[in-house]
Chain A
Amino acid sequence: MSNIGTERVKRGMAEMQKGGVIMDVVNAEQAKIAEEAGAVAVMALERVPSDIRAAGGVARMADPTITEEVLGAVSIPVMAKARIGHITEARVLEAMGVDYIDESEVLTPADDIYHINKSDYTVPFVCGCRNLGEAARRIGEGASMLRTKGEPGTGNIVEAVRHMRQVQSEIRMVSSMSRDEVMTYAKEIGAPFELLLQIREEGRLPVVNFAAGGIATPSDAALMMELGADGVFVGSGIFKSANPAKFAKAIVEATTHYQDYKLIAELSKDLGDAMKGLDMATIEAHDRMQDRSE
């Protein structure tokens, strides 16, 4: 009579996160700071993306000791990252009881052709996307939540803005298409036809789409909400800032009250330095994490 792991409970879990901030943490202490600041979930990692970028080499699923430490430290949901296509890392995380898996381009892909068939799992997945085709393919594979890829670990919002605008603009385009135009468009962007028809009917994606990859300030978070994000992920932005607890709280409040500009001005005062950040022009093509999968 009762059913676990249904599409409704997997997608529903992400619906409950709407309007919230999900923060990257690398230990129990950071997880508690995030929870105290009002994060709706934490992402347990071995290193935040900017450190992964700096360290180079192959980035893998975190040591389970760290994930377990975070699982034990907070009462809010805990997410963790598996490499793209790494079925076993994902199964390990599921077995450990994490609440959501991010099949993430921040880690070095394990499979350069196929993503995980996420419908097979009881645990829900979030995946990155840069455009509607990519979003629709991930949903087709069973992702229950999406996020923009942005460019992780840069503290530069430009790529997340580009990806959010691109997805929104393609949704608007599909919504105004006649039914006979949808098949050709589905072919062009490599999206499942039936899913595009559903998006055309409803005028939105069937799962939530958060912003991620470059959010460093309260205004950045509010901007992404303004552009139609359902919530935000902040990776390096919090624990690479001068005052993580204060930054975290300010970003949480700015995400909720994203059109209250006087409030955002107040929240942004005396925060200390945001993470330093990278200009996209200084990043070599092979260092662009967003291009690691499609």
Chain B
Amino acid sequence: MTTIGVLALQGAVREHIRSIHACGANAVEIKRKEQLEEIDGLILPGGESTTIRRLMDSYGIFTAIQDFADKGKPIFGTCAGLIIMAKSIVGQAEGHLGLIDMTVARNAFGRQVASFEAELDVAGIAEDFRAVFIRAPYVVEVGKNVEVLATYDEHIVAVRQGPFMATAFHPELTDDHRFISYFIDLTATTKS
């Protein structure tokens, strides 16, 4: 069976675990780098990207995730996870993991009072996906190897580059598990 880890340093970990279970896969909370050896794919959940990055730096988990990615193992980031996976971030000297060739803008839709829900057409996943955007980022530009999966109001909000996927919204906050299920299938395929 496919085992998906959820980085559990801070953020909406419980929701991803619930979603993974609903799709019939194993779920593990990842707090320590050693735990990465037990999993086939990794989810970087929503939360505060600055907080998650600080905590990733503390115990070598940051470099361990880079090694995990170098092996071509799938990683899926939602919201803060998207920011952490981006090659560059508007207004910051450097990105974090730099796994996806894209530039992202943080809090791009505005502060919390501008947080919203919308229906999205996501290429190959769903035509009517209820997406929850919370102080969400969006993708300003992507490299040629990046596939754009969805846009909202002409802004890129879901992407995939090989084994790496990211969304500006939170598929884990609804009962629609098609996105998580897509990632689990991607992980299962990569594994075999």
The residues of A with any CB-CB pair to B shorter than 8 Å are: 1-6, 8-10, 12-13, 15-20, 35, 37-41, 75-77, 94, 97-100, 122-124, 249, 252-253, 256-257
Contact = CB atoms under 8 A, between A and B. Distances in A.
Interface stretch (B94-102, B116-124, B140-148): B116-124
B135 A99 contact: yes
B14 A18 contact: yes
A196 B41 CA distance: 38
Nearest to A40: B48
B43 to A, nearest CB: 14
B173 A15 contact: yes
A166 B48 CA distance: 29
Contacts of A97: 111, 113
Contacts of A19: 8-11, 13, 47
Nearest to B31: A257
A38 B50 contact: yes
Contacts of A99: 111-113, 135
11 contacts: A3-B118, A4-B116, A9-B112, A16-B47, A18-B10, A18-B47, A19-B11, A38-B55, A99-B112, A252-B51, A256-B10
B151 interface: no
A42 to B, nearest CB: 11
Interface of B: 8-15, 31, 46-48, 50-51, 54-55, 58, 79-80, 106-107, 111-119, 132-135, 152, 170, 173-174
A37 B119 CA distance: 36
B173 A13 contact: no
Q: Which 10 A-B pairs have the closest CB atoms?
A: A38-B54, A99-B112, A9-B115, A2-B118, A19-B10, A40-B48, A2-B116, A38-B51, A4-B116, A15-B12
Contacts, number: 118
Contacts of A39: 51
A44 B173 CA distance: 28
A3 B133 CA distance: 10
B9 A256 contact: yes
Contact of B112 (A6, A38, A100): A100
Nearest to A37: B54
Given A16-B134, A256-B10, A1 B51 contact: no
B113 A15 contact: no
Contacts of B46: 15-16
Nearest to B15: A15
A4 B115 contact: yes
B51 A40 contact: yes
